[in-house]
Structure 1
Amino acid sequence: MVDVGKWPLFTLLGAQEVSRIRQACVFGTSANEAIYITQDDEVFVFGLNCSNCLGTGDSQSTMVPKKLDFLRGKKVVSLSYGSGPHVLLATEGGELFAWGHNGYSQLGNGTTNQGVSPILVSNNLQNKKITQVACGSHHSLALTHDGEVFAWGYNNCGQVGSGATANQPTPRRVTNCLQGKVVMGIACGQTSSMAVLDNGEVFGWGYNGNGQLGVGNNGNQLIPCRLAALQGLCVLQIASGYAHSLALTDEGLLYAWGANTYGQLGTGNKSNQLSPVHIMAEKERGEGEWPAVGSKRTRENTEEAWHRETDRIVEIAACHSTHTSACKTQSGQVYMWGQCRGQSIVLPHLTHFSCTDDVFACFATPSVMWRLLSMEHDDFLTVAQSLRKEFDSPETADLKFSLDGKYIHVHKAVLKIRCEHFRSMFQSHWTEDMKEVIEIDQFSYPVYRSFLEFLYTDNVDLPPEDAIGLLDLATSYCENRLKRLCQHIIKRGITVENAFSLLSAAVRYDAEDLEEFCFKFCVNHLTEVTQTAAFWQIDGNMLKEFICRASRCGAFKN
């Protein structure tokens, strides 16, 4: 499962909000903006908001996610972003929305006014169903359901494919060599455009100073030009980096061309390539051509992985704002090369990652996402995810706990596996073993529910005041890990107002580390703490003990 928490922006969100995310994308010149779509198809944005790229209707930054009501309920099928940045978003219904930087008409609405809110791009796209979008630095591509490509925006190098270099203010169909052909995939470099046809042919147009079009020279192309060097190969996927390109064939072979300053082609050197080059398996290379990074052990691992003849490549990854490349093999091995955390890696380097997205989260500069990330790779749930899903589920539960007039549905087998207290309880000589409903009166509903949920999830989500009650339960049930978690929650949530109550609880439940922590906090904030209601409501003996102990620490010295 992909973890969005690997992108720093998403660490600003709470666990509950992160769990609602179905799709996400981190973008921007410094990876400072993010958009995500929830399970309910609500669209949220947050971040720096450069060039109004969040689409919130204003130019304000926000670290608190804001909802884009205009897009509510519209399932997103494709999303891309430029360097301005500007954003393109295609919905399941085939609608195309755009917002953000518009200095070159890259939003396609015929103006150069900034798009502070999502606008529906309709010029020349009436009755067209958009299935895929791609952005260059300041130009835009859209692919229709019928396999037509439309382009607009900045066109100084011919990246719109119109045959001229004038900027294109509204979507214009890319024709010439693509006339009558069915395109199935599009990609953009900074100032170049690529398309792959349903027959596996590849076309490129726009800037070609580094050979990123793969046509054998470095002259710009104002109309689509076929990559003759790929003749006889059937390409399934294309990907464009800042100024380099990758292609994946139906046989699982990888080809690369274009800029190679950082080794992003994976050829073993830093020379640009004007035509596609097969990125060979390591076993085909000479001994002296191994990557400079990594130990001998890393090289052995890489060689062993590439030696598997059936381990074909199934996915390639690149992004127009980075010089990084990645791929994934059939067996799940992920490789990266190019600019990785400032280093130049000139050959595919085996990583410990399970998906190409992690390469861009951890090694790319900026650490953007190379695609709209989906949390729904498949319907498979791990054991942990299955347990979490079934907590308090009446459909599958075989036991209920009753507290304060409310039920908590659980599974006896899970409780026996996870907790010694329940393992003992559900013995034949305990009356509870025969019951379908067990009454609990010594703990509150929120505390007991949190305890049972902890057994299913390993997590506790309680305010510090309720964590005191859970600490009591953990002590009673000899759940030491839960006890430590409760102490952590209390330490993290201590305030002047609750400090003395928490200290009392720590003493009552014999939590020595917590007691020491709360005591020091009370002494450090003695004047404020002694003015709280909790301080004066405390038991007389406890108060005397605290004063004596504080005195020994020098709290009352003049």
Structure 2
Amino acid sequence: MIAAGAEHTAAVTEDGEIYGWGWGRYGNLGLGDRNDRFVPEKVSSVEGEKMVLVACGWRHTITVSSSGSLYTYGWSKYGQLGHGDFEDHLVPHKVEALKDSSTSQISGGWRHTMALTSDGKLYGWGWNKFGQVGAGDNADHCSPAQVNFPEEQKVAQVACGWRHTLAFTEKKNVFAWGRGTSGQLGHGEIVDRPVMIDALSPDGPGCKKLESSAAIPFAAKIWVSPSERYALVPDEKVAKPGDVSARGNGADASVPENDVKRMRVSS
């Protein structure tokens, strides 16, 4: 199994070993340091467990063992590792909040993470400025928060976009929540609000929707400026030397001057 982040890659072999390579500044390779790797390198075994699933966020990695235990490592400025803090981890670290659950699916967004358990419960955590965690608010979550669905529908599949999330339930309904300024939520508008996608859901418009945060308007302007819609790194700026970046919810000067892409220029 393979997974790709922004500038790093992870793979799980048939015998349960996990490998990482690429950009490793935040420990997202799981190798115990912040160095890049140009070829795959094996991550040290975790409590003797074999890994079966792996997914990448932008700068973090998520993996699941054969026993259903969930591990994360890498960048955690927004709590996207789910360990109850905002600290980076350079090697796989078990998400203790879900230790009594068996994780069956995982997905990583830009700065948020989603995990589906074997009993159909969905949890999210991390950056939540647009409600993409699905917790009914806009606060960042450093521990897993359960997503509540109408009629307690069980979830069969989950997928993260950059700043939004989708779930497919056992009733074959498709739900979406998070950023919607390019129409990615599929409800016919370019606003941020949790919805069930009527065109893909047998329950249709009569089904109750997901809970929404009061900070996510249900009636908002339809027109969105191109600068807001297509911004590559919203609410961010390149940090100047000596700047101290704020933690959480969008004030992230996460592209320092010494963190530009490395390019080989032929002379």
**TM class by shorter-chain length?**
0.7 to 0.9
**1:12-61 CA-partner distances (Å, limit 9, x unpaired):** xxxxxxxxxxxxxxxxxxxxxxxxxxxxxxxxxxxxxxxxxxxxxxxxxx
Correspondence for 2:79: 158
Correspondence for 1:249: 169
**1:206-254 CA-partner distances (Å, limit 9, x unpaired):** 1001110111111000100101235611111000000100101112111
| Alignment equivalent of 2:30, drawn from 83, 93, 108 | 108
Higher relative contact order (CA 8 A, sep 6+): 2
Name the larger-Rg structure. 1
Kept in 2: contact 1:201–1:231 (CA 8 A): no
Correspondence for 1:281: 199
**1:338-372 CA-partner distances (Å, limit 9, x unpaired):** xxxxx99xxxxxxxxxxxxxxxxxxxxxxxxxxxx
Percent identical among aligned pairs is 33
> Which 5+ residue runs of structure 2 have no aligned equivalent?
206-228, 231-267
Superposed CA RMSD in Å reads 1.9
Q: SS at the partner of 2:63? A: strand
Correspondence for 1:239: 159
Q: SS at the partner of 2:198? A: coil
Kept in 2: contact 1:254–1:278 (CA 8 A): yes
In 1: Cα distance, 2:159 partner to 2:150 partner: 15
Q: SS at the partner of 1:143? A: strand
Q: Give matches, 1:212-227, under 5 Å.
A: 212-227=132-147
Correspondence for 1:416: none
Kept in 2: contact 1:212–1:258 (CA 8 A): yes
What is the deviation of 1:169?
1.0
Kept in 2: contact 1:162–1:223 (CA 8 A): yes
Kept in 1: contact 2:71–2:93 (CA 8 A): yes
Correspondence for 1:79: 2
- Structure 1 residues 252, 229: closer, same or farther in 2, change over 3 A? closer
**1:83-131 CA-partner distances (Å, limit 9, x unpaired):** 1x100001111111110000101001110111122111115x1421111
Correspondence for 2:117: 197
Correspondence for 1:92: 14
**1:267-318 CA-partner distances (Å, limit 9, x unpaired):** 1111112xx4211138957xxxxxxxxxxxxxxxxxxxxxxxxxxxxxxxxx
> Which 5+ residue runs of structure 1 have no aligned equivalent?
1-77, 286-342, 345-558
Structure 2 counterpart of 1:266, which letter? G
- For this pair of structures, how many residues does the alignment match? 205
Kept in 2: contact 1:215–1:229 (CA 8 A): no
In 1: Cα distance, 2:151 partner to 2:77 partner: 29
- Structure 1 residues 216, 131: closer, same or farther in 2, change over 3 A? same
- Structure 1 residues 268, 105: closer, same or farther in 2, change over 3 A? same
TM-score by length of 2: 0.73
In 1: Cα distance, 2:33 partner to 2:23 partner: 11
Structure 2 counterpart of 1:277, which letter? V
In 2: Cα distance, 1:230 partner to 1:90 partner: 35
Correspondence for 1:526: none
Structure 1 counterpart of 2:155, which letter? V
In 2: Cα distance, 1:111 partner to 1:231 partner: 45
- Structure 1 residues 163, 262: closer, same or farther in 2, change over 3 A? same
In 2: Cα distance, 1:170 partner to 1:216 partner: 31
Kept in 1: contact 2:70–2:99 (CA 8 A): no
